[in-house]
Chain A
Amino acid sequence: MNLRAVGIVYRKEFTEWVRDRRTLISTVLVPLFLFPVMMVGFSALAVVMVGKAEKETPKIMILGGDDSPQLLASIRKLDALEIVPYAPNWKDQISNKDIRAAVEIPKDFEKSLETNESETVKIYFYDGEMKSSFGANRLEKFLKDYRDTVVRDRLAAKNLPASVLSPFTIKQENVAPPEKVSGATFGSFIGYTVIILCMTGAMYPAIDLTAGEKERGTMETILSSPISRLDLVCGKFLLVFSASLATAILSVISMGGSFAILGHTNLMNSSSGGPTLALNLGLLSVVSVFLMALPLAFLFSAVLMTIALFAKSYKEAQSYLTPMTFLIVIPAVASVMPGVELTPKLALIPILNTSLVCKEIIAGTYHWNSIALIFVSTCAYAGAALFLAFKTFQRESVLFRS
């Protein structure tokens, strides 16, 4: 191999690459802005939307209950609910979001309470509609409090303490450090995103440097120069690999920045009063994720280049690589599935293994044997893919396919 020639090809490809808007969008802009938009933007939007929905006083309709004046009076007293008059089309009103929920009080409800008969109070709402759920939840909370009051009164009447109904309490408590908790929550997502971005970063340069050259008619020009095919493939491959790595690095930086912003804006604080999901991406985690993404970026670059070389045009290459995207997404998504853990067998499945190990690294767990196995196996796949790319570049039937 002639390193000078490889360097010349790389420099030229780099110059062309930085002048190409399409590849710059996929390599630089998408990873830099995807995370902030997805994480900060969507989180902020969700917080605003939920806050707005929580502030709204839901309109509630009461069905029946004329023979239960005490309960009715208690409901009407609630500031958190706006009671609207009964209308027979209440179901339509809920579906049309005119009212948020309705509560049906059974006939002779208060009489039944006095005689210790059990009745069912029904709450009607629009499942999946956030504001309707908030209304239904407020109603349910009120009714539970009301039920507890009835129970306490009954126990008091019989001189029994309230603790008779709850002889002991149950409480779950997390013992894992907060960074592990948040790592387990976000690890899959981060690994998955880095993998997808490694691929998208490599995709457009891979097409441009192979099928793009054929389409523009520059393939014959470069093949008529004295450079060997091996040096040409290596120079082109290094550029695709650089683009993929640049995407991975930018996505990690962008990710770190997004989590830092989220940490400062308290958008990740648990609304249920639980621990704050503060993700501490330490230098070791970032470097480890990057190192694990390295052979995968290598693999993607070689595979995408080989496939794209079969195409005669940019468009044709895109149609070849679109199914490839699904092939990559499937194992990446599989790693996000609950219960999918890193095992020695899974450590040999490319993409899935990297995604799983990234999840563990971000959660602060380092199984060095698995890490070594994944790194070496992915390197082996990547080496085989590069060899295939080189062999494909030597096939006249591929280079001059018409």
Chain B
Amino acid sequence: MIEARGLSKRFHDKKRGEIRAVDNVSFRCEPGRIYGLLGANGAGKTTTLRMLATILEPTDGTALVCGYDVVEHPEKVRANVGFLSTATALYPRLTAQELVEYFGRLNGLDEATLKNRLDVIFNRLDMNSFRDRRCDKLSTGMKQKTSIARTLVHDPPVMIFDEPTLGLDIMTARTITTFIRECRDRGKTVIFSTHIMSEVEKLCDVIGIIHDGRLLTEGTLAQLREKYAEQDLEEIFVKIVDPLQSKVEA
């Protein structure tokens, strides 16, 4: 389970001064459900997810991941999280197997358990044909599968996906969305950020709309449709983040 409690992150920029990338964001993600964080570029999605994954430290507030505080116990949080984004690249000079083994060992798996996990994951993701190939020689789809294997190797109960389909072709993106659904079906807590409305509609059980670092609203798709009297998610999104523009268009 993930519980964000007033998460905030401020950055200091020499030219622009203080920037509030995330401002007092609170939400809750339950096991077996996908929480979709929807927002435009620069809304604060990546910063929020990086704080949940303990890659960044919150300026104010905190979050609990599987009962561990992200500020107090960042290493325990990371041991319970699988983090995947388009920015999490692979080591080019390692083979797919070496890379997954590396992260398995860093997650404290012993060699026998690691071998079993590798066999299970590589069979499930159909990776055996390229397990000994170096990552810099893999196709985009193969790389994504290897990234998925990396996040799964320690079988974490929480999965964090930061715009995982950004820039991918349809088939590779489908591999990712199928994987996200599988995570939910296996009872994992899943949080997923995107700015693609169709992905949210297809995947998310709960949607949180974030803009200028603030979580403006959240609820199921049905709840949002009812609340904003709109069927189309894009219209709902515009109504929430830019009500003035929405009125002008109406």
Contact = CB atoms under 8 A, between A and B. Distances in A.
B106 to A, nearest CB: 5
Interface in B53-98: 53, 55-57, 75-76, 78-79, 81, 83, 85, 87-94, 98
Nearest to A217: B89
Interface in B98-151: 98, 102-103, 105-108, 150
Interface residues of A, number: 22
Given A8-B106, A217-B87, A220-B87, A226 B93 contact: no
Interface in A8-28: 8-9, 12, 15-16, 19-20
Given A224-B78, A224-B81, A218 B106 contact: no
Nearest to A13: B91
Contact of B88 (A8, A9, A224): A224
A12 B93 CA distance: 10
Interface string A201-227: 000000000000000111011011111
A142 to B, nearest CB: 68
A228 B91 CA distance: 19
B89 A221 contact: yes
Given A224-B83, A225-B106, A396-B57, A218 B89 contact: yes
Contacts of A228: 75
B228 to A, nearest CB: 34
A227 B106 contact: yes
Contacts of A225: 78, 103, 106-107
A15 B50 CA distance: 29
For the residues of A in contact with B, the DSSP-based class is: helix
Contacts of A123: none
Contact of B93 (A19, A220, A223): A19
Contacts of A9: 106
A224 B53 contact: yes
B137 to A, nearest CB: 12
A12 B94 contact: yes
B108 A226 contact: yes
Nearest to B88: A221
B56 A396 contact: yes
Interface centre among B50, B94, B102, B107, by most chain A C-beta atoms within 10 angstroms, is: B102
B92 to A, nearest CB: 6
Given A8-B106, A12-B94, A217 B88 contact: yes
Contacts of B150: 221
A303 to B, nearest CB: 25
A3 B213 CA distance: 39
Given A8-B102, A221-B91, A225-B106, 12 more contacts: A9-B106, A15-B93, A15-B94, A16-B91, A20-B93, A217-B88, A220-B87, A224-B55, A224-B88, A225-B78, A226-B106, A226-B107
10 contacts: A5-B106, A8-B105, A8-B106, A16-B94, A19-B93, A217-B88, A224-B53, A224-B88, A225-B107, A226-B107
Nearest first, the 3 closest Cβ-Cβ pairs linking A and B are A217-B89, A224-B83, A226-B79
